């Protein structure tokens, strides 16, 4: 297919459901053609239908991102069908809710392979193509939990920490080369996604993201904003900012606080355990969209992300206000 506009071709891994699905929709709304990489056929078809309904070209590619050769084949398919890849979003993740010692070694390894190595494989596939062209943008979907681990999610937290270290290394190498390829990390707060119905858990209550919970569209808008104007790091949501800064200045207090509150906070006491099968090894059949089970608790906007989106007029207003204060102060000093 020929390119139809200057916006370009985007790839979103894990784009069939949850945050990835919301990112796919938001990018298509902003004029991107979108290739969706995931495992489940139903969700892939639904995501591509979303893209096409917005007047953009969509492509579904079934892939297990933990397999590097599979990801390379998927990237080749995207460039053959849609054109050169301009934007690659590494969003895919998987995990379980259990203590470290109660997590089967194979479950831990699988969650790490999908969440961490899936990002590594996606970055390699994107960078191999972008580096030779000296253009392109890779966005890693990070997490507040990349800065502070919480109980019952050791595999996920470890993988997200690893994504940060890996990305810093890649960025330093690109900087050394003087490459024009951009790499960004967008750290997410707790989101109301399908993952909490699919996560592997033996607990009697339905897993939930630790409140406050935001709708996935909040994260998707932040990702699309970074795609519009690359930024090295972006923290999404007041809770993400508070957790990261709190870790830097009061780490020992957070050890105590999270041990006391984050355990119970990961379960919905008013909901029974999910009847869905976990997606750790196999995709969940059906097209499940972007939202999880917590629409009644989730926030549709964050003042912090609104401020990021409108930072240029805010900076202008702040500069004007500062200039006005200085002018008034100068006038008063002259009168004296």
Rounded Cα gap, residues 203 and 329, in angstroms? 63
Is 214 known to be catalytic? no
Question: Which of 3, 81, 86, 15 has its CA nearest to residue 44?
Answer: 15
Q: Which of 16-20, 169-173, 295-299, 320-324 has the lowest mean pLDDT?
A: 320-324
The pLDDT of residue 44 is 98
Residue 2 pLDDT class (50, 70, 90 cuts): very low
Contact 88, 23 (CB under 8 A): no
pTM: 0.89
The pLDDT of residue 277 is 86
Is 160 known to be catalytic? yes
Question: Which of 136, 145, 57 has its CA nearest to residue 89?
Answer: 136
Tokens of 260: 């006391």
Rounded Cα gap, residues 223 and 217, in angstroms? 10
Residue 205 pLDDT class (50, 70, 90 cuts): confident
The pLDDT of residue 251 is 85
Rounded Cα gap, residues 298 and 292, in angstroms? 10
pLDDT over 70 (residue 234): yes
Read off the pLDDT of each residue in 278-304 and give the average, rounded to a whole number.
Answer: 90
Contact 12, 24 (CB under 8 A): yes
Radius of gyration for the chain, computed over Cα atoms and rounded to the nearest angstrom: 21
Rounded Cα gap, residues 37 and 34, in angstroms? 10
Residue 320 in 3-state DSSP?
helix
Cβ-based burial of 166 (10 A; exposed 0-12, middle 13-18, buried ≥19): middle
Rounded Cα gap, residues 218 and 231, in angstroms? 17
Say which residue, 332 or 38, is predicted with more confidence: 38
Q: Which residue has the tokens 């900076």?
A: 315
Contact 216, 291 (CB under 8 A): yes
Residue 320 pLDDT class (50, 70, 90 cuts): low
Q: Which of 159-168, 245-254, 270-279, 314-323 has the lowest mean pLDDT?
A: 314-323
Computed over every residue of the chain, the mean pLDDT equals 91
Number of neighbouring beta carbons within 10 Å of residue 58 = 23
List the catalytic residue out of 160, 200, 257, 260.
160
Read off the pLDDT of each residue in 43-71 and give the average, rounded to a whole number.
Answer: 98
Read off the pLDDT of each residue in 134-162 and give the average, rounded to a whole number.
Answer: 97
pLDDT over 80 (residue 315): no
Which residues neighbour 284 within 8 Å (Cβ) at sequence distance 6 or greater? 40, 194, 198, 276, 277
With a pLDDT cut of 90, the percent of the chain lying above it is 76
First-last CA distance in the chain: 73
**DSSP label at residue 3:** -
Q: At 54, phi and psi to the nearest 5?
A: -95, 10
**DSSP label at residue 236:** -
With a pLDDT cut of 70, the percent of the chain lying above it is 88
Residue 1 pLDDT class (50, 70, 90 cuts): very low
Read off the pLDDT of each residue in 113-136 and give the average, rounded to a whole number.
Answer: 98
pLDDT over 70 (residue 135): yes
Q: Which of 28-37, 93-102, 141-150, 249-258 has the lowest mean pLDDT?
A: 249-258
Read off the pLDDT of each residue in 161-170 and give the average, rounded to a whole number.
Answer: 98
Rounded Cα gap, residues 34 and 10, in angstroms? 5
Rounded Cα gap, residues 293 and 283, in angstroms? 18
Contact 59, 49 (CB under 8 A): no
Read off the pLDDT of each residue in 178-194 and give the average, rounded to a whole number.
Answer: 97
The pLDDT of residue 313 is 67
pLDDT over 90 (residue 304): no
By residue count, the chain amounts to: 336
Rounded Cα gap, residues 193 and 19, in angstroms? 6
Residue 18 pLDDT class (50, 70, 90 cuts): very high
The pLDDT of residue 332 is 56
pLDDT over 90 (residue 149): yes
């Amino acid at each position: 297919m020929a390119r139809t506009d200057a916006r370009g071709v985007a790839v979103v891994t894990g784009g069939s459901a949850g945050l990835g699905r919301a990112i796919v929709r938001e990018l298509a709304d902003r004029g991107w053609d979108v290739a969706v990489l995931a495992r489940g056929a139903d969700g892939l078809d639904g995501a591509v239908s979303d893209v096409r309904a917005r007047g953009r070209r969509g492509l579904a590619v079934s892939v297990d991102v933990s397999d590097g050769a599979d990801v390379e084949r998927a990237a080749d398919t995207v460039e053959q069908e849609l054109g050169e890849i301009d934007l690659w979003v590494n969003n895919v993740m998987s995990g379980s809710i259990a203590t470290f010692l109660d997590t089967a070694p194979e479950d831990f390894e699988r969650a790490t392979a999908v969440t961490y190595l899936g990002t590594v494989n996606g970055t390699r596939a994107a960078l191999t193509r972008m580096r030779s062209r000296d253009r392109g943008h890779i966005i890693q979907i990070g997490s507040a939990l990349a800065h502070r681990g919480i109980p019952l999610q050791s595999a996920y937290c470890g993988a997200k920490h690893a994504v940060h270290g890996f990305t810093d290394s890649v960025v330093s190498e690109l900087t050394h080369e003087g490459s024009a390829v951009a790499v960004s990390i967008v750290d997410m707060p707790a989101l109301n996604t399908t993952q909490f119905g699919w996560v592997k858990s033996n607990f009697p209550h339905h897993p939930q993201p630790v409140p406050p919970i935001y709708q996935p569209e909040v994260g998707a808008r932040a990702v699309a904003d970074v795609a519009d104007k690359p930024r090295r790091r972006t923290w999404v949501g007041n809770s993400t900012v508070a957790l990261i800064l709190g870790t830097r200045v009061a780490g020992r207090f957070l050890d105590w606080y999270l041990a006391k509150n984050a355990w119970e906070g990961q379960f919905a006491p008013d909901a029974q355990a999910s009847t869905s099968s976990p997606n750790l090894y196999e995709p969940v059949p059906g097209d499940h969209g972007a939202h999880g089970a917590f629409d009644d608790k989730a926030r549709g906007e964050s003042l912090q992300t609104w401020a990021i989106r409108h930072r240029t007029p805010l900076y202008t207003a702040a500069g004007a206000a500062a200039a006005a204060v200085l002018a008034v102060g100068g006038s008063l000093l002259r009168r004296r």
